[in-house]
Homo-oligomer: A and B are copies of this chain.
Amino acid sequence: MNNVVLVGFMGSGKTTVGRELADRLQRSFVDLDREIEADAGRSIAEIFALEGEAGLRQREGRRLERALQEEGAVIAAGGGAPLADANWQRIRDGNTVVALMAEPAELQRRLSGSNGRPLLQPDTGTAIASLLPARMSRYLEADLLVQTDDRQPAALAAEIARQLPSVPLRRIAIEVPGAGHEAVIGTNLTGPITSGMVRLTDGGAVLLVTDAHLDKPHGSRMLEAFAAAGLRASMHVVPAGEAAKGLEVLAAIYEALASAGVDRGGVLVALGGGTVGDVAGFAAATWMRGIRYLQIPTTLLAMVDSSIGGKTAINLAAGKNLAGAVHQPAGIFADLDYLRTLPEPDYRASLAEVIKAALIADRAFVEWLQNNLTALLRREPDAILHAVGRAVLIKARVVAADPRETGERALLNYGHTVGHALERSLGFGTIRHGTAVAWGMEVAAEVSCMLGSCTSEVARVQRELLLEAGLLAHRPVVDRSALLESLRHDKKSRSGTLRWIVLRDLGRADYGVTVDAPTVTAALDRVFSG
């Protein structure tokens, strides 16, 4: 776990740079080829001659598996090791993968005179030309792509060290049919994001959309990283907050896409909280009938909720999120560094979505929260990594099973129906979304108990978590008839009928439950008249 794995073609400098990097980081260094030779008691060339390539690959796979059990080591993988899918999966799992790149001519220069390399047949130039293209497409999937031409090992090691995340990268596959992608959770992700963009764009133009709170320094720095990697990128700044989600802002993003020369091969990057993700995602969903985009959520709420699932939207005079599209991003990068400066009330409010995720789908996570909420409130990195990873995983599974929200994806709306009604009747912006959801969860748990769907013990566990997170500190004063009226106008209603999500147990919920009006009224009364 948390190893740095160097991959790259023969001659790319894995051993030299790897040793340099290990020294600099004061970590142990594993040179896979040397280890294989030590195990076998013979050289790679001899293994190749005696056991064939298959034999070598088998030794390589086994030795790689063992090397990856190290904690925090720097590992130089053999040039061919990443090619087997099983190896690649292991290499990526919880580790940071760095690909060292060099121009073919430079590789040939460095390899001149190596005659111990069995794959450099019939001659180095021919071997490079025939092997490089296939390998390159795998190396391009690395987290960091580092050009080594004309650079010294010490400088390269320093550059890599600067770009390494401080926590093991969490990668979560979001297996939406036809639009599968990955969420990467970690710290210091500008490098991995830039590498991701190099993979995606393939020459197309890039528009980075961010808001007026993030453009300096975050947006500008990311733009610099993109430019340094040779991307044709521009930045477009939208207003901060809910104001970003208007038709005029959308129109301005369209104009920026046109000016930036983004065509169907281009990519949009949404850097910000939920509002930026929503409006920029909607622009990506509709620009030329849909282009690829990255979600880079900068708030806890966006990381665990809005950035996942492809829902994009803008607000209209008639209501919030009324126009929108479901358009899956090409990737999601949740950089936990952004959470360090998140204001406390925002951070706490977002925990409502984390607690919600646990309650509807993951009993073990509920139990983890009971034991670790204090650490999470203190923003301890390990706790944040665990909680974000778990919440993202839950949402990823539900979204993959039902991307268009025709069925179980409704589960994610647990607490949201009353939450939205509360936001609407108090006036949007008066209460934080997460706080409103927490109260909505209280009503939903009350309804669940009244229907006999869950025990009061389940409701008690929920309440204690929400209380500990400080989310039920101020009971909102609401006009209950306005709330009921608002519930009737919910976007999720279909032909006027609203379905509820109710708790069944810790980590289990049901959706599509019809609840009669008196039960709803009684639940609202109990929760809102303290």
Q: Enumerate chain A interface residues (CB-CB to B < 8 A).
A: 202-204, 247, 251, 254-255, 258-259, 263-266, 282, 285-290, 311, 313, 316-319, 322-326, 491-496
Contact = CB atoms under 8 A, between A and B. Distances in A.
Contacts of A254: 316, 318, 322-323
Nearest to A490: B263
A129 B319 CA distance: 43
B288 A286 contact: no
Contact of A255 (B266, B286, B316): B316
Given A287-B323, A288-B324, A494 B265 contact: yes
A323 B283 CA distance: 8
A318 to B, nearest CB: 3
B319 A258 contact: yes
Given A290-B325, A324-B286, A316 B494 contact: no
B202 A289 contact: no
A263 B494 contact: yes
A209 to B, nearest CB: 15
Contacts of A259: 318
A264 to B, nearest CB: 5
Given A251-B247, A316-B254, A316-B258, A287 B322 contact: yes
A201 to B, nearest CB: 8
A496 B264 CA distance: 9
Nearest to A258: B318
Contacts of A318: 254-255, 258-259
Given A258-B316, A316-B255, A325 B285 contact: yes
Nearest to A317: B255
Nearest to A314: B286
B493 A263 contact: yes
B251 A322 contact: no
**Copies of this chain per assembly:** 2
B495 A202 contact: yes
28 contacts: A202-B495, A203-B496, A204-B494, A204-B495, A247-B247, A247-B251, A251-B316, A254-B318, A254-B322, A255-B317, A258-B317, A258-B319, A258-B322, A263-B491, A263-B493, A263-B494, A263-B495, A264-B493, A265-B494, A285-B325, A286-B323, A286-B325, A288-B322, A288-B323, A289-B311, A289-B324, A289-B326, A290-B326
B263 A496 contact: yes
Nearest to A318: B258
Given A285-B325, A286-B323, A288-B324, 7 more contacts: A202-B495, A255-B318, A258-B318, A263-B496, A264-B493, A286-B286, A288-B323
A286 B247 CA distance: 13
Contacts of A202: 495
Contacts of A316: 251, 254-255, 258
Given A258-B316, A289-B313, A290-B325, A494 B251 contact: no
B495 A265 contact: yes
A74 B202 CA distance: 63
Contacts of A491: 263-264, 288
A261 to B, nearest CB: 9
Most B Cβ at <10 Å: residue of A203, A259, A263, A289: A289
Nearest to A203: B495
A63 to B, nearest CB: 41
Contacts of A325: 285-286, 289-290, 325
A265 B286 CA distance: 23
Contacts of A324: 286, 288-289
Nearest to A492: B264
A326 B264 CA distance: 14
A264 B406 CA distance: 11
